[in-house]
């Protein structure tokens, strides 16, 4: 039996009929074709699927599409505004915060939530805040620097120089 849901994703409202067991991440990827949100595990460990639901970072593989009925969702595709990269996206680019890029959308969404709650985190707080997201490529150092870059920029501070 299918259920009707209405969600707003990246500012656009969608109404769909979904099976009750459909995960939100599969709804985003397979129904809405928003493939920037990735799936990296089946035990809610990796964070590759992280999106914002009503402004909070949530692993979208842990939520059923029907539970998101009425919610406001932001995915990585919705982060840049008017062709302007979000400071986090900029930070990841400037600081070489990604290699294969698979973990990146989830990392950025989690970092978004982190900076929202703590605009000026210490290195330790950043590392702690990203614990639910796994990256196999970068060894995390440049991800930390990317978040620091965004934090500086969002607070109107001069940003650290990029890599040279």
Footprint of other proteins (CB under 8 A): 19, 21-22, 26, 29-30, 33-43, 45-46, 48, 75-77, 79-80, 85, 89, 92-94, 96, 98-105, 108, 123-124, 126-128, 130-144, 162-164
Annotate each residue in 48-87 with x if it binds ligand FES (CB under 6 A) or - if it does not, as one string: xx---------x-x--------------------------
From candidates 5, 28, 32, 46, binder to ligand FES by CB under 6 A: 46
**Between 32 and 48, whose beta carbon lies closer to ligand FES?**
48
Residue 158 Cβ vs ligand FES, minimum distance, rounded to whole Å: 27
Query: CA 48 to CA 39: how far, in whole Å?
Result: 6
Kindly calculate the radius of gyration of the chain based on its CA atoms and give it in whole angstroms: 16
Q: What are phi and psi of 151, to 5 degrees?
A: -60, -45
The residue behind tokens 């600081």 is: 95
Partner in contact with 113, chosen from other proteins, ligand FES, none, beta carbon below 5 to 8 Å by kind: none
Q: How far is CA 141 from the centre of its chain?
A: 18
Q: Single out the residue of 31, 137, 159, 160 in contact with ligand FES (rule: CB under 6 A).
A: 137
Please answer whether residues 32 and 9 qualify as being in contact, where contact means their C-beta atoms are separated by less than 8 angstroms: yes
Q: Taking the CA atoms of 79, 28, 9 and 13 in sequence, report the sign of the dihedral they define.
A: positive
- Residue 22 interacting partner from ligand FES, other proteins, none (CB closer than 5 to 8 Å by kind): other proteins
- Asked if 102 is part of the footprint of ligand FES (rule: CB under 6 A), the reply reads yes
Q: What is the dihedral of CA 38, 61, 108, 133, to 10 degrees?
A: -100
Asked if 3 and 17 count as a contact pair (C-beta separation under 8 A), the reply is yes
Q: Which residues bind ligand FES (CB under 6 A)?
A: 39-41, 44-49, 59, 61, 98-104, 135-138
């Amino acid at each position: 039996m299918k259920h009707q849901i209405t969600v707003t994703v990246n500012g656009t409202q969608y109404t769909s009929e979904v099976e009750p067991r459909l995960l939100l991440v599969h709804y985003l990827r397979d129904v809405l074709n928003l493939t920037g949100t990735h799936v990296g595990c089946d035990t809610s460990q990796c964070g590759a699927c992280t999106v914002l639901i009503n402004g909070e970072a949530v692993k979208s593989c842990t939520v059923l599409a029907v539970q998101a009925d009425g919610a406001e969702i932001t995915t990585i595709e919705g982060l840049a505004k008017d062709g302007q990269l979000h400071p986090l996206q900029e930070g990841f680019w400037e600081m070489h915060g990604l290699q294969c890029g698979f973990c990146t959308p989830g990392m950025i969404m989690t970092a978004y939530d982190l900076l929202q709650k703590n605009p000026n985190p210490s290195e330790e707080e950043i590392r702690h805040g990203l614990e639910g997201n796994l990256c196999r490529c970068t060894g995390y150092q440049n991800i930390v620097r990317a978040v620091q870059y965004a934090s500086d920029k969002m607070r109107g501070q001069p940003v650290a120089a990029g890599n040279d």
